[in-house]
């Protein structure tokens, strides 16, 4: 194993997804990795294990998190994901006040305190202050975890990454990597970027894509399909505001359309979050229905129900995105990482089948690990 030291990350948005990620960093110890772990797509990438990731800066806007050690903040309300690694010592990194902008939907003020945000009264930072913190902390990669629909906030943190000279992982459905102007700027700064909108490890979108691709490969004409999702975390509560759903629905819909044999009419495909069910907490339930015609023009249909813990399901992918970004940084590879973006995200700049994207990721890891070995 080539271990090169820690990977230093900053996090914008210390919600459920950040909680699952940080728990995972501490759960996947070297001992567990040696024993043969469950739940990782890659035990190591370029010699890096999940536990080689270190959080060095964090930003949030909730009063229960701002001013708190990040390893305590991940367990504060309104976070509700399952706790699978509770034994986490303080990390010495205090959550700083982040930029609010459009990061909080107005309707969320109508819910009980343990279900919504309590805005901190700390002053919002300027871009220069966020950039300064990124530089001071020595962060190499900034993860964007701001809520769905936070267009201004997502672009704010992308701008901060560019100015601070750090890589950017865009987990949210605000189009940064797939916006050519942003992609070109990251390329010009020789900074890696992966995006947009994380595709969970075994979630609704990847399952829907695989089935859609299977229809095409098996010669079944897909006539119409839907994907309905319910959940009880603040992500689903946030998405009750339909105006914040535009990019999310587009991202999820295009991820399925991209692997169909023939693009479906808009009226024949519905993909997106459907409702907020408080008692589900971080559990997400997905219902998929697909109708088509097979041999002899005979009709068939498929119905599937998938239940997953939403945030750990994303953290398993982010662990790999971070390590791919680190390889790119070490090898001087800037701009959009095409293979990782296609495999790990719903709305990359260029769509590929998941089989092709998987091969691209493996080729990226092999090529950049070889370069590291040669340098050594």
pLDDT at 1: 43
pLDDT at 214: 97
Tell me the mean pLDDT in the region 274-278.
Answer: 91
Nearest to 161 by CA among 139, 184, 179: 139
Tell me the mean pLDDT in the region 92-119.
Answer: 82
Whether 289 shows a pLDDT value over 70: the answer reads yes
Q: Rounded to 5 degrees, what are φ and ψ at 161?
A: -60, -45
Whether 371 shows a pLDDT value over 80: the answer reads no
CA 67 to chain centre: 25
Read off the tokens for 360: 């691209």
Whether 376 shows a pLDDT value over 90: the answer reads no
pLDDT category, 251, cuts 50, 70, 90?
very high
Contact 348, 180 (CB under 8 A): no
Determine the Cα angle at 216 with ends 214 and 221, to 5°.
Answer: 115
Nearest to 21 by CA among 10, 33, 36: 10
Whether 90 shows a pLDDT value over 50: the answer reads yes
pLDDT at 361: 98
pLDDT at 118: 84
pLDDT category, 111, cuts 50, 70, 90?
low
Any residues with CB less than 8 A from the CB of 31 and at least 6 apart, and which?
A: none
What pLDDT digit, counting tens, does each position of 302-323 carry?
999 999 999 999 999 999 999 9
pLDDT at 374: 55
Whether 3 shows a pLDDT value over 60: the answer reads no
Nearest to 40 by CA among 327, 335, 358, 320: 320
pTM confidence score: 0.93
Tell me the mean pLDDT in the region 260-265.
Answer: 95
pLDDT at 54: 97
pLDDT at 101: 85
Weakest mean pLDDT among 45-49, 198-202, 220-224, 247-251: 247-251
Whether 96 shows a pLDDT value over 90: the answer reads yes
Of 33-37, 113-117, 235-239, 290-294, highest mean pLDDT: 290-294
Whether 286 shows a pLDDT value over 80: the answer reads yes
pLDDT at 56: 98
Tell me the mean pLDDT in the region 252-276.
Answer: 94
pLDDT at 243: 79
Neighbouring CB atoms inside 10 A of 322's CB total 24
């Amino acid at each position: 194993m080539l271990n090169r030291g820690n990977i230093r990350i900053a996090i914008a948005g210390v919600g459920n997804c950040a909680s699952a990620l940080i728990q995972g960093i501490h759960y996947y110890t070297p001992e567990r990795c040696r024993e043969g772990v469950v739940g990782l797509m890659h035990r190591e990438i370029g010699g890096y294990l999940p536990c080689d990731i270190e959080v060095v800066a964090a930003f949030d806007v909730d009063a229960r998190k701002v001013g708190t050690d990040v390893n305590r903040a991940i367990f504060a309300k309104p976070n509700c994901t399952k706790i699978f690694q509770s034994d986490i010592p303080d990390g010495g990194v205090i959550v700083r006040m982040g930029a609010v902008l459009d990061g909080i939907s107005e309707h969320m003020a109508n819910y009980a305190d343990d279900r919504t945000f309590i805005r901190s009264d700390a002053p919002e930072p300027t871009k220069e202050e966020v950039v300064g913190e990124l530089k001071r902390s020595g962060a190499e990669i900034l993860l964007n975890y701001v809520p769905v629909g936070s267009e201004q906030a997502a672009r704010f943190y992308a701008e901060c990454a560019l100015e601070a000279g750090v890589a950017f992982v865009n987990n949210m459905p605000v189009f940064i990597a797939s916006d050519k102007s942003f992609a070109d700027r990251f390329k010009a700064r020789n900074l890696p970027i992966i995006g947009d909108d994380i595709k969970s490890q075994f979630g609704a979108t990847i399952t829907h894509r695989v089935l859609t691709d299977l229809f095409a490969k098996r010669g079944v004409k897909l006539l119409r399909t839907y994907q309905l999702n319910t959940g009880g975390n603040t992500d689903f509560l946030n998405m009750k505001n339909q105006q914040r759903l535009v990019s999310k629905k587009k991202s999820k819909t295009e991820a399925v359309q991209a692997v169909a044999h023939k693009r479906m009419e808009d009226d024949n495909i519905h993909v997106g979050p459907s409702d907020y069910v408080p008692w589900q907490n971080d559990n997400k339930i997905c219902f998929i229905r697909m109708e088509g015609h097979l041999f002899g023009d005979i009709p068939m249909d498929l119905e599937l129900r998938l239940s997953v813990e939403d945030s750990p399901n994303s953290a398993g992918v982010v662990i790999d995105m971070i390590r791919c970004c680190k390889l790119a940084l070490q090898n001087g590879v800037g701009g959009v990482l095409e293979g990782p973006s296609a495999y790990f995200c719903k709305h990359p700049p260029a769509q590929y089948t998941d089989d092709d994207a998987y091969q691209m990721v493996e080729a990226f890891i092999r090529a950049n690990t070889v370069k590291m070995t040669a340098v050594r």
